[in-house]
Amino acid sequence: MSVKRIGVLTSGGDAPGMNAAVRAVVRTCLYHGIEVYGIRRGWNGLIHGDIIKMDASSVSRTINRGGTILYTARSKEFMTEEGQKRAVSTCKFLGLDSIIAIGGDGTFRGARALSKYGINVVCIPGTIDNDISCTNYCIGFDTAANTAIECIDRLRDTMQSHERCSVVEVMGRNAGFLAMYVGLAVGATAVLVPEKEIDFEKDVIEKLRQARLHGFTHYMIIVAEGVGDANEIAQKIRDSIDLDPRVTVLGHIQRGGSPTGRDRVNATKMGYLAVELLRAGKNNRIVCTHDGLYTDVDIDEGLAMNKNIQQMEIDLLAAMTGYHN
């Protein structure tokens, strides 16, 4: 398949490293003599023609920047058949051969819808939640995890000084990958994730009780946002034991900041491979990683997969949290 003109967009929640992926797409296209256009504000930009031609200067000094230079948005209009047809009309009017979409599973479902109309698409996983089933790693996860770890390490200093219990909510939507990683990295007293059924007495209260019996006077509870409201969890602790937890919701700070080297390099490789897939005549694919190798899967196949926290990680969490005689 001869590719002459590619559009690239970012959609859904932003993730550190998206700019590195856009940069890689642009520079790879230019290397092969392919015109490349930036579609601003996600699928909404494709519907309304919010599109700019990109060159080397468009992505200069962006590899270290957080957020996305193309902006991002969630488009209710694109979820309708009329909106999708308008997006297709834009592609045909501008002569876009293919679309490279960077984002999470919602972005991928949008790309799949566009492919039904004959538009070639390739997706790149970019979400701090790391919950895309067909890939081991998503752009933004490493930066978000390190941001959360740094914040919690700082928080621990003051919690220890005042001998307090802290309940910290991290992002992750309905997945606990970020909370699990962060909890292990900070040596949390307890970690609550939606993938594991929670016995509050056993998983939280007893761990706090054992920590106190072992002489500890400060405690850190990490909660994935998919588990529930951190304030409600703090109240349950107050009702069960003689502690007055302080709640910290890290929120959108986890999405910001300069991407780590790992995110920059992974994003660069994925952006490059997305263009190479299209040049090789492959479309309707998701770029992904498995066991350290970069590969690709069909969009339908990728979206049908399930991703769960492994039992080994659940067992590891049990061994690393709480205190054991």
Res 1: pLDDT? 62
Nearest to 156 by CA among 147, 168, 146: 168
Res 231: pLDDT? 96
Compute the distance between CA of residue 174 and CA of residue 115 in angstroms, rounded to an integer: 27
Classify domain 143-255 at the CATH topology level.
Rossmann fold (3.40.50)
Work out the mean pLDDT of the chain and round it to a whole number.
95
Res 2: pLDDT? 83
Res 324: pLDDT? 58
| H helix count then E strand count, the chain | 12, 11
Compute the distance between CA of residue 124 and CA of residue 104 in angstroms, rounded to an integer: 8
Compute the distance between CA of residue 177 and CA of residue 103 in angstroms, rounded to an integer: 17
Compute the distance between CA of residue 209 and CA of residue 163 in angstroms, rounded to an integer: 14
Tokens matching residue 32: 């092969």
Tokens matching residue 65: 């920047």
Mutual orientation of helices 141-162 and 261-279 as an angle, nearest 10°?
160
232: Cα separation from own chain's centroid: 26
List 97, 129, 203, 263, catalytic entry: 129
Domain ranges for the chain = 5-140+259-304, 143-255
Compute the distance between CA of residue 278 and CA of residue 96 in angstroms, rounded to an integer: 12
DSSP letter at 156?
Answer: H
162: Cα separation from own chain's centroid: 34
Mean pLDDT of successive 10-residue stretches along the chain, which has 325 residues = 92 96 98 98 96 97 97 92 96 96 96 96 97 96 98 93 93 94 96 94 94 90 95 96 93 96 98 98 96 94 91 90 68
CB 103 within 8 A of CB 10: yes
Beta bridge partners of 99: 7, 121
Q: How many CB atoms neighbour CB 269 within 10 A?
A: 16
* Range 5-140+259-304 classified under CATH 3.40.50.450: yes
Identify each DSSP E strand in the chain by its residue range: 5-10, 35-39, 51-53, 98-103, 120-125, 165-170, 190-192, 219-224, 246-249, 285-290, 293-298
Host H or E run for residue 89? helix 81-94
CB 290 within 8 A of CB 136: yes
Q: Would you say the CATH fold of 143-255 matches that of 5-140+259-304?
A: yes
CB 292 within 8 A of CB 275: no
Sheet holding 246-249, edge to edge: 190-192, 219-224, 165-170, 246-249
Confirm whether pTM is higher than 0.85. yes
Host H or E run for residue 181? helix 177-186
Identify each DSSP E strand in 104-224 by its residue range: 120-125, 165-170, 190-192, 219-224
Q: Is 129 one of the annotated active-site residues of the chain?
A: yes
Res 292: pLDDT? 85
Compute the distance between CA of residue 124 and CA of residue 107 in angstroms, rounded to an integer: 9
